[in-house]
Structure 1
Amino acid sequence: MTVRFLHTSDWHLGQFFYNHSRDYEHEQFLIWLLKQIQEKQPNALLIAGDIFDVINPASKAQKQLYQFLADAHDLAPHMQTLMIAGNHDSGYRIEQVEPLLEKYNAKTVGVIHKQADGQIDLERLLVPIYDAQKNIVAWCLSLPFLRAAEITGINEQTSNSQSAIAYLHQQLIAEAKQRKTADQALILMSHAHMQGGETSDSERPIIIGNEEALSIALFDEVIDYVALGHLHKPQKVQHAHIRYSGSPIPLSFSEINYKHQVVDVTIAPTKEDESRFQFQAIAIPRSVQLHKIKGELNEVFEKLKALASGEISNIDQREYVDIEYHTLTPPQPNLRQQFEDALPKDRYRLVRISRQYLNHEAHNIEASSMSLEPPTPEKLFQQIWEKQGYSADDNVLKDFISLMNDAQKTLEDEHSD
């Protein structure tokens, strides 16, 4: 038996980009994805976490997801949609709508549940994937973003986060091995930062300095494919079958050159040759372009004027512009308006201006920026910390992020009661 599935992740529905809604861009992606589903008729669609951008997504973002699930079910009734929670999601929130998800042949794993005896409930993490005749063609080992509070202290083997993660993988893979037959594939879906993964500046820093990045040694050789989420750049992690699908749209200017994609995977477990595992990266068309303009002021103005012209009436479809200009002098008071005037009319959104102040005596550069985007809690903490006269310290930031994650977990626990 063969299993075919599409691997995607990090949708970040509801994201605001420098205070601009991404609804149009997400809508275009979802329309495109529905066409892929209709054409390819896969057994499953895997969404490897960060479905939403925040733990309390706006109703419009939730409607986008549920309307997509309904439309996908109409186009491919036998297809299962399997989702896990990422670090941006509320695992409890996305599990609360299980009755709705069942209508659309969809299932989500948001948190790690425990049985009455305190042991991990492995049953909820092992999801069968069926073909059109209702035969099990694969098992999906579904691991949402693992928070220490959910997985530590279960027994003597889970005293800290790293040991608990290793124990969970061992137990889950052992259970999967017992269930699978020779003609069934094993797929592991996880939202995590793997060692060697290349990051952009838009991933929330769930770890500091990569010291807690996970090793691929967690994945037994019996696993046919590892569908990863969290890192936005599409990439393999040491092996072709261990992959990040990446985000469907650029979530920061550092992702301008990413080749956004959905991965189309076919596995034939009984074959021993190279045809056993096949995959194709399907490029996602970009609906709104991003432009990063850099250089000295005269260069910046020339580049702005050289951009394509032609009015785009809908502001949500206008292209984003980020300007980084280099100068030896303080900025003129009306510089932003000069930049706006240099841009072709009614086509672009100037969302960020940063200045690289050239100190020619020391031959170095000081950076300052002007942005409409509200600071993240991490950036706000760093600003306050440094304003108090303390130097940047990775350990301090790590402690802050740990406290913030614990507070978020407490809030989610209270909402779930």
Structure 2
Amino acid sequence: MKLIHTSDWHLGQTFHGQERHVEHQAFLAWLLETLIARQADALLVAGDLFDVVNPSLKAQELLYDFIVEAHQRLPALDIVLIAGNHDSGNRVELPAPLMRRLNTHALGRVHWRDDGELDAERLLVPLTDSDGETRAWCLALPFLRPAEVTGRKGLTARDSESNGANERNDYVAGIGAVHEQLINAAREKREPDQALIAMSHAHLRGAAVSEGSERPIVIGGEESLSASLFPDDISYVALGHLHRPQQVGEPRIRYSGSPIPLDFSEVDYPHQVVEVTLQGDALAGTETLPIPRSVALIRLGPAELESVLAEINAVEDDPELPTERWPWLEVRVDLDGPQPDLRGRIDAALEGRALRLLRIHTRYPKARGEAPGSRRVTLDSLGPQALFARAWEEEYGEPADDQVKRDFALLVQDVMDAEADA
């Protein structure tokens, strides 16, 4: 049996104000042809389908057109989607009854029974082969928000590290307990030779985070989970949230990464999907399939202006490309002081070139006594957590303690949840 694992599509993302529908459309067309060529039995999309909780109609159209065409060309293909922290769980589930007619299962939120127990049954999706036989079960667990798992009956867990002696905070304990309950339910459900495939949108401890494009799930590093949460009888773990493709500890636990670079810091990532091959209930192997880049991203500098202008002149462009395929360009310039004609000189260097300038990032390392190549922290490079920590320390003269940071992080999550509900 063959599965294709992907995640973090972020449909509808705007790149410094510019739409990226062409790039996403090219990826989805490539993905469909890949599913056909590789004779895949199932497609697993591990969250962050959209970039915002209220995606544009065009972004939604991209998703639903892909699902319809995939079903038309591969009627036996199972598609499983889960919501990520950028998604509205309710929005993901809204068309679920219709999508089930297209062999697509959309899971946006966990549900609880009247007795307070997790409704694990609805999160278990059968994956069938070309003959319609169930060969695996997908444990499809959407992103868990604090309100969904804190204070719930039976949601207690101990960190498997440190000999299980230290209680994790309620949120992380709740996430762990939901995973454990779902795994136990799947074990009861499966029959001999059926594999268990876990799909989760979460931050695993030890995994590498992108420089500038990933929203912390809730509490910086504190919400990270241990890979030991997934026992050996889970044949493969399909993860979403981190944009850098990577395995965590062992080959069966993987982030597929984002299909296109979502920030200039991701220019050098090997964007890919993962093909997973099962033999009975065992993982037979994985293969990474590189995704062709439909629009190039070019990052110049940081360097002094004359050097950057020389770099611009050295860039090879293709005037025959349609405008929507011209490369995106970021220019990073080191200055001694304000330079009023900076934009004019860069625009002049770009005149007549098949390049799209997205951003000019300026630094003043000499004026600040910084070493060449050092990174200047700007408002753009700070997320809410770091900005709050700096403001607190400036106001009170000492760093915020862990409880204050946790309270602030939960307030941030409440705001994001309120946006999703709206």
TM-score (norm 1): 0.90
Matches of 1:69 and 1:197, distance apart in 2: 31
TM-superposed CA distance for 1:382, in Å, is: 4.7
Q: Is the 8 A contact 1:10 1:246 kept in 2?
A: yes
Query: What residue number does 1:77 align with?
Result: 75
Q: Please list the CA deviations of residues 287-342 of structure 1 after superposition, one character each: whole Å capped at 9, or x if unmatched.
A: 11111111122211110110013325643322111111223x21321211211211
User: Which residue number in structure 2 is paired with residue 56 of structure 1?
Assistant: 54
Aligned pairs for 1:100-119 (under 5 A) are 100-119=98-117
Q: Which residue of 2 aligns with 1:332?
A: 339
Find the aligned partners of 1:297 and 1:407 in 2 and give their Cα distance. Answer: 41
| 1:28 paired residue number | 26
State the aligned residue count.
404
Structure 2 residue 239 is the aligned partner of structure 1 residue 264:
no
- Residue pair 2:136, 2:281 contacting (<8 A) in 1 also: no
Partner residue in 2 for 1:93: 91
Q: Give the C-alpha shift of residue 401 in structure 1.
A: 3.4
The residue number in structure 1 matching 2:165 is none
Q: Given the alignment, which residue of 289, 292, 298 partners 1:285? A: 292
- Distance in 1 separating the partners of 2:361 and 2:121: 51
Secondary structure at 1:367 match in 2: coil
Which amino acid letter does the alignment assign opposite residue 169 of structure 1? H
User: Alpha-carbon deviation of 1:148?
Assistant: 1.4
Distance 1:368 1:300, change over 3 A: farther
Matched, 1:378 2:376: no
Q: Deviations over 1:385-412 (max 9, x none)?
A: 4898577858556533321322333454
More deviation, 165-174/183-192: 165-174
1:261: how far off? 0.4
Does the aligned pair in 2 maintain the 1:112–1:151 contact within 8 Å? no
Displacement after TM superposition at 1:184 (Å): 0.6
Structure 1 unmatched runs, 5+: none
| Secondary structure of 1:226 counterpart | strand
Residue among 114, 131, 134 paired with 1:136:
134
What secondary structure sits across from 1:52 in the alignment? coil
1:189 is aligned with what amino acid? M
Equivalent residue in structure 2 for 1:67, among 65, 68, 77: 65
Which shows bigger deviation, 81-90 or 173-182? 173-182
**Greater CA drift, 177-186 or 254-263:** 177-186
| 2:245 corresponds to which of 234, 239, 249 | 234
Q: CA deviation at 1:347?
A: 1.2
Give per-residue Cα distances to partners, 1:55-114, cap 9 Å, x unaligned: 000000000000000110111100011000000000111101112212321011110101
Aligned twin of 2:44: 46
Say whether residues 1:124 and 2:122 are aligned partners.
yes
Residue 179 (1) aligns with residue 185 (2): no
Q: How does 1:168-317 map to 2 (within 5 A)?
A: 168-200=178-210, 201-269=212-280, 276-294=283-301, 295-311=303-319, 314-317=322-325
Aligned counterparts of 2:184 and 2:267: Cα–Cα separation in 1: 41
Find the aligned partners of 1:178 and 1:343 in 2 and give their Cα distance.
63
What runs of 5+ residues in structure 2 fail to find an aligned partner? 157-168
Are 2:219 and 2:410, in contact at CA under 8 Å, matched by a contact in 1? no
Equivalent pair of 1:7/1:264 in contact (CA under 8 Å)? yes
Residues in 2 aligned to 1:316 and 1:199: alpha-carbon distance in whole angstroms: 30
Q: Is the 8 A contact 1:81 1:105 kept in 2?
A: yes
1:355 offset after TM fit, Å? 1.9
Which of the residues 367, 370, 381 maps onto 2:376? 367
Output the CA distance in 2 between the equivalents of 1:192 and 1:347.
39
Q: Could you tell which deviates more after superposition, 70-79 or 340-349? A: 340-349
Question: How far apart, in 1, do the equivalents of 2:323 and 2:383 lie?
Answer: 29
AA aligned opposite 1:174: N
Partners of 1:255 and 1:33 lie apart in 2 by 20
CA contact (8 A) 1:207 1:213 kept: no
Please give the alpha-carbon distance, in whole angstroms, between the structure 2 residues aligned to 1:249 and 1:366. Answer: 25
C-alpha distance in 2 between matches for 1:121 and 1:191 = 18
- With over 3 angstroms needed to count, the CA separation of the structure-2 counterparts of 1:277 and 1:88, relative to structure 1, is same
TM-score normalised by L of structure 2? 0.89
Distance 2:186 2:20 in 1: 39
Judging changes above 3 Å, is the alpha-carbon distance between structure 1 residues 215 and 73 closer, same or farther for their aligned structure 2 residues? same
Q: Using the alignment, how far apart are the partners of 2:261 and 2:77 within structure 1?
A: 27
- The alignment yields a C-alpha RMSD, in angstroms, of 2.6
More deviation, 124-133/360-369: 360-369
* Cα contact 2:89–2:108 (8 A) shared by 1: yes
Seen in structure 2, the aligned counterparts of structure 1 residues 129 and 156 have a Cα distance that, compared at 3 Å, is closer
Cα-to-partner distance string for 1:256-285 (whole Å, 9 max, x where unaligned): 0000001111111356xxxx4211100000
- Which residue identity does 2:417 align to in structure 1? K
